[in-house]
Chains A and B, each alone.
Chain A
Amino acid sequence: MTIDQRATDGTAAQAGGTDVLAAHGLVKRFGDRTVVDGVSLHVGRGEILGFLGPNGAGKSTTIAMLTGALAPDEGEITVDGVALAADPMRAKALIGVVPQEIALYPSLSARQNLAFFAGAYKLARGLRKERIDWALEVVGLSDRAGERVSSYSGGMQRRVNIAAALLHKPRLLFLDEPTVGVDAQSRNQIFETVLRLRAEFGMSVVYTSHYMPEVEQLCDRLVIVDAGQVLAEGTQQELLKPLGEGLLEWALNEAELALLEKGIDDLAVAFTEHGEVTVTTSGDNVPTIRVRVEDMPATLRKVSDFAAENCLGLGGIRLGRPDLESLFLDLTGRQIRDGA
């Protein structure tokens, strides 16, 4: 059975429920190191899921398992009701993968690359030209399809990278950092492509990115991972709610700490009534408090008063809106692009 036959007779779609992707208790170990530790997630039909995590969080390993490139040590994955472990060829035929790298053959033209991937996805021979033309039109490269990929700009290469994953019209598309190093025009083109695929084909998408505005703009729901575990999952509204009116970070240097009787603990106590306070250290081992602010004007007045009373400077203060950047910082203690 070819991919196209499966897509049109709907056999795969009938097999599962409403989730196009369901993963339960994924574990992956490399030697003694557990890189992914019990990750579970699901993606609904036509849903765009943001999959976020800092470098080393186990994100790439999880994606590799979800796309069938790596076998999990524990856990189960089903794609549109098809168990990936039991029937990998059928499950993989329902997945499209756009890797972070430009995973193409630069000496070949865009059309030759797409013809190869159409063959790799076992697309019916008679359908290949039509699908290649369609994929090129979707990413806006029909007029330059005969040129070598090496002659394209970074943005155009990214678009061919996406087109190669669309040829078999997958039910689930993985987009791993699809906008790295692209210009604004290509970025907009990629956004439009993702939204169009969902609108026209009900395609589900797993989207990873370090650009929070992209994630805010595109994703219906988010999964945030760190140290191989899911830290949070939900819609943006659900996840941002605990942040209240924003996030206040105050880092003290050694001289400032010496001015306080109990050091950073004095600062933490002073802000307890203004929201949930976490004491942490930044990447440079600088003692820091982080406050989920409930009333921003009152908290800022407190900052001013406390600084004046204790002769502290305001250089270590950072305010964050209740957005994904702040959420990520709150959950992981790191900026999303730290070490990215």
Chain B
Amino acid sequence: MFPMIRKELLVLLRDRASLITLFISPVLFMTVMSFALGNSFANLGSPGKLSISIVDEDHSPAAQAVVRALSSSGRLQVTSAVDGVPLSAAQAQSRVHAQTDAFSVLLPAGFQQQVADGGAPKIGFVVDPSSSRQVVDPVESAISSLVVTVTSQEGTTLALTRLSDTQSDPAVKAAIQAQVAALDSTTHQVDSTVSFPAGEGAKKYPSVYQQEVPGYTVMYVFFIVTIMAGSIMVERREGTFRRLLSAPMPRWQLLLGKVAPYLLVAVVQVAILLSFGRFVFGMNLGLHPLALIPISLALAACAVALGLLLASVTRSEAQVMGIGTAMVLVLAALGGCMVPGVFLPHFMQSITHFIPQGIALNAYQDVLVRGESMGAVLPGAGILLAVAVAMFALAVPRFRFVR
């Protein structure tokens, strides 16, 4: 079996295309994507401000209260006037179009009257179509809630003021006016703090590298699938398997000798890519770096098992490349390797828990980002190993050395 392993490694070392796929390509992707997404991660945990504009066409106390409330937000950069002149709807649209603002809030004429009449306050949003809905939607929702709160308060103030005007008793009148003053002085700001769940070792937000390096490592480990299955197809086509079947070597040794080198290569690949992240990008390996080992071994076993399964159900190199590449890319996307999980919609975040890539990535981030120890990642590694065993069990009985 050892001659098989040695031969396979020699052949792989001379296969430049495979080496580029396994080692150079992920390094390039990690580097480019880390720079591309660097700003997104740099703002995590820091008070970044979203630029918006407000057009007040009502000029009423209620509308002004909304403008004041939004302007006082520490998370928003609000523009309601330019050079002291209130912003017009056309100007606001121009600013959104020029991407000066992420969106604009329009408080139409009659805004306060609607509130006074007990109706739902109507507001409008002008949104740049290229804006991320994941950013705009929550902010829209938050602003709508704030408008409801502010207008509700304004409605109460208005009602109390009217009530006060009808009172003849100075004491009652004073009491009502005190209530109005208290309402006027109410702030709409919340003094909030952020902390991580108890038991997690992380003390700060993750760096872009802690997201991108494990993501692309997991994605590219699975490219061993097409390389290994392709190599098996070549041995079938060239007749080397048939020749080796006539050698005094049991079939299980022949199969193990073919698979084992790729397991080794996958483990080395993980080690090199994580080391690249550590030593080139200065990526923090978490509080328990040794916990990365069981994940990496289970991940490599899973990738190799998938490669064997692919080789056992396909008949040509073309099928391997077509099916294999599509499978690897789709699973990587579903597993959250290409786009960090925080940017994925909820249903996709749920799917990642059932995809080997997602399980591996989550386990890596447990160690790198959340500072978890060996015990915390063993369940994930165990699931990956179980998936690998299941795929081996499916592949081996179907595997054919000759066409």
Contacts and interface: CB of A to CB of B under 8 A. Distances in A.
A120 interface: yes
Given A90-B248, A112-B10, A105 B240 contact: yes
B243 A97 contact: yes
Contacts, number: 75
Interface stretch (B1-9, B117-125, B379-387): B1-9
Contact of B242 (A93, A99, A107, A120): A99
A131 to B, nearest CB: 14
A312 to B, nearest CB: 49
A17 to B, nearest CB: 23
Contact of A69 (B2, B3, B6, B242): B242
B15 interface: yes
Contacts of B6: 116, 119
A119 B248 CA distance: 10
Interface in B276-304: none
Interface in B343-394: none
A118 B246 CA distance: 13
| Most A CB within 10 A of own CB, among B238, B239, B243 | B243
Contacts of A97: 243, 246
Please classify the interface of chain B as helix (H, G, I), strand (E, B), loop, or mixed, using the class held by over half of its residues.
Answer: helix
A64 B242 contact: yes
Interface string A51-85: 00000000000001001111000000000000000
| Most B CB within 10 A of own CB, among A120, A121, A164 | A120
Interface residues of B, number: 22
Contact of B249 (A103, A105, A120): A120
B402 interface: yes
A259 interface: no
A210 interface: no
Contacts of A67: 245-246
Contacts of B245: 67-70
Interface string A85-120: 000111011010101111111011000100111111
Nearest to B3: A119
A107 B2 contact: no
B261 to A, nearest CB: 13
B247 interface: yes
B279 to A, nearest CB: 31
B14 A89 contact: no
Nearest to A60: B242
Contacts of A122: 248-249
A99 B239 contact: yes
Nearest to A99: B239
A272 to B, nearest CB: 48
B242 A103 contact: yes
Contacts of A64: 242, 402
A96 to B, nearest CB: 8
Interface in B74-116: none
Contacts of B248: 3, 88-90, 92-93, 121-122
B244 interface: yes
Contact of A105 (B2, B11, B247, B402): B11
B14 A69 contact: no
B40 to A, nearest CB: 43
B246 A107 contact: no
Contacts of A3: 248
Contacts of B61: none
B243 A103 contact: yes
Contacts of A99: 239, 242-243
A129 B4 CA distance: 18
Nearest to B15: A107
A120 B3 contact: yes
Nearest to A113: B7
Nearest to B239: A101
B246 A108 contact: no
B252 to A, nearest CB: 13
Contacts of A70: 245
A112 B8 CA distance: 12
A117 B7 CA distance: 10
B220 to A, nearest CB: 22
Interface in B236-260: 238-240, 242-250
B114 to A, nearest CB: 77
Contacts of B243: 97, 99, 103, 164
A102 B402 CA distance: 15
Given A101-B239, A102-B238, A108 B7 contact: yes
B247 to A, nearest CB: 5
B244 A120 contact: yes
Contacts of A116: 3-4, 6-7
Contacts of A69: 242, 245-246, 402
Nearest to A128: B3
B177 to A, nearest CB: 92
A103 B240 CA distance: 5
A4 to B, nearest CB: 13
Nearest to B13: A107
A301 B315 CA distance: 58
Nearest to B12: A107
A68 B10 contact: no
B246 A95 contact: yes
B77 to A, nearest CB: 60
A89 B3 contact: no
Given A64-B242, A67-B245, A122-B248, 8 more contacts: A67-B246, A69-B402, A99-B239, A101-B239, A112-B7, A112-B10, A120-B247, A121-B248
5 closest Cβ pairs, A-B complex: A119-B3, A101-B239, A69-B245, A103-B239, A67-B246
Interface of A: 3, 64, 67-70, 88-90, 92-93, 95, 97, 99-105, 107-108, 112, 115-122, 164
9 contacts: A3-B248, A69-B242, A69-B246, A104-B240, A105-B240, A112-B7, A117-B247, A119-B6, A121-B247
